[in-house]
């Protein structure tokens, strides 16, 4: 396995965190993924991935403000770390390399 390896869902979550910039907290990330990719995401699987990415050092997190709508609980905002950013770029470069290597997409039916 190469150094630049991310599971598909991990990649999606990291990209979404990047998209949301300063607004990347739990519910926002889920909504963003559901809207953009039209797929159902459970909080359980997403939180697990967030924790894992944070452990790997690709994301960092910090508590934010509490709101009435959240029953007085604070939000946890996630941010991309430098490692995370270079990781994402590495993954993209790998993909681009692969795409560049294809002369023309041939499909069989």
Partner 1 sequence: MNHIPPKIPLKFFRWFCHTDFQEDIEGDLVERYLQKIDEKGVRYAKWYLWLEVLRLFRPSMINWSHKRLIPASGSMLMSYCKVSWRNILRFRLNSFINIAGLTLGITCFLLIFLYVDHELSYDKHFADADRIYRVYTKENSGDQELGSSSYATTPLPLADAMKAELPEIEALTSIRDQEVLIVTETNSTLEKGLWVDSQFFQVFDFVLLQGNPSKVLTEPNSIVITSALASKMFADENAIGKSLTVQVRKQKRVFNITGVLANPPEQTTLKFEFLAPIEQYTHYRNNWDTSDSHTFITLQHSAGVEDVEAKIPDLLKKYRDEDFWTEYRQEEFKLQPLADLHLSNHINEDIGLKGSNTHINVLSMVAILTLILACVNYMNLAIARSLTRSKEVGVRKVIGAGRGQLMIQFLAESWFFSLLAMLLSVGLVYWLLPVFSALLERSLVFNPFNEEVIPIMVIIVAIIGLISGSYPAFFMSSLKTSSVLKGQVASNRPSGLNLKDVLVIGQYAISVIMIIGSLVIYSQFQYLLDKDVGYNRERILVISITDFPSHDRFESLKAKWLMNPHVAAVAASWQLPTSITSNGYVEYEGHDAENPKVLHRTSVTEDFLEVYGLELLAGDGLGVSINDPSGILVLNESALKSLGWTAEDAIGKRIEHRGMVVGIIKDFHMLSLHHDIEPLMVRRSDRAMYRYISIKLKPSSLSNMQATLKAIDEDVSANSDFPFEYQFLDDKYQQLYASELRMSKLLNMFTILSILIASLGLFGLSAFNVFQRTKEIAIRKVLGASAITVISLISRSYLGLVLVGFLVASPIAWYLANQWLQDFVFRVSINWWVFAFAGLATAVTTLLTVSSHSIRASLANPAHSLRDD
- Binding residues for partner 1 (CB under 8 A): 25-27, 30-31, 42-45, 47-48, 51-52, 63, 66, 69-71, 73-76
- Give the shortest CB-69-to-partner 1 separation in angstroms: 6
The residue (of 64 and 82) whose beta carbon lies closer to partner 1 is 64
The residue (of 20 and 90) whose beta carbon lies closer to partner 1 is 20
Q: Where are the alpha helices (DSSP H) in 21-70?
A: 26-37, 43-56
The CA distance from 86 to 67, in Å, is: 34
- Give the shortest CB-84-to-partner 1 separation in angstroms: 19
The residue (of 49 and 88) whose beta carbon lies closer to partner 1 is 49
Report the candidate in 48, 47, 52, 19 with the shortest Cα–Cα distance to residue 33.
19
The CA distance from 79 to 76, in Å, is: 10
The CA distance from 84 to 24, in Å, is: 15
The residue (of 72 and 103) whose beta carbon lies closer to partner 1 is 72
């Amino acid at each position: 396995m190469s150094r630049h390896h991310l599971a598909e869902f991990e990649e999606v979550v990291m990209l979404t965190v990047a998209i949301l910039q300063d607004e990347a907290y739990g519910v926002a990330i889920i909504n963003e993924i559901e809207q953009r990719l039209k797929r159902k995401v459970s909080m359980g699987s997403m939180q697990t991935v967030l924790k894992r990415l944070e452990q790997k050092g690709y994301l960092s997190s910090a508590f934010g403000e509490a709101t009435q709508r959240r029953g007085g609980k604070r939000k946890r905002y996630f941010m991309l770390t430098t490692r995370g950013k270079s990781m994402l770029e590495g993954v993209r470069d790998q993909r681009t390399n692969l795409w560049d290597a294809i002369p023309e997409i041939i499909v069989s039916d």
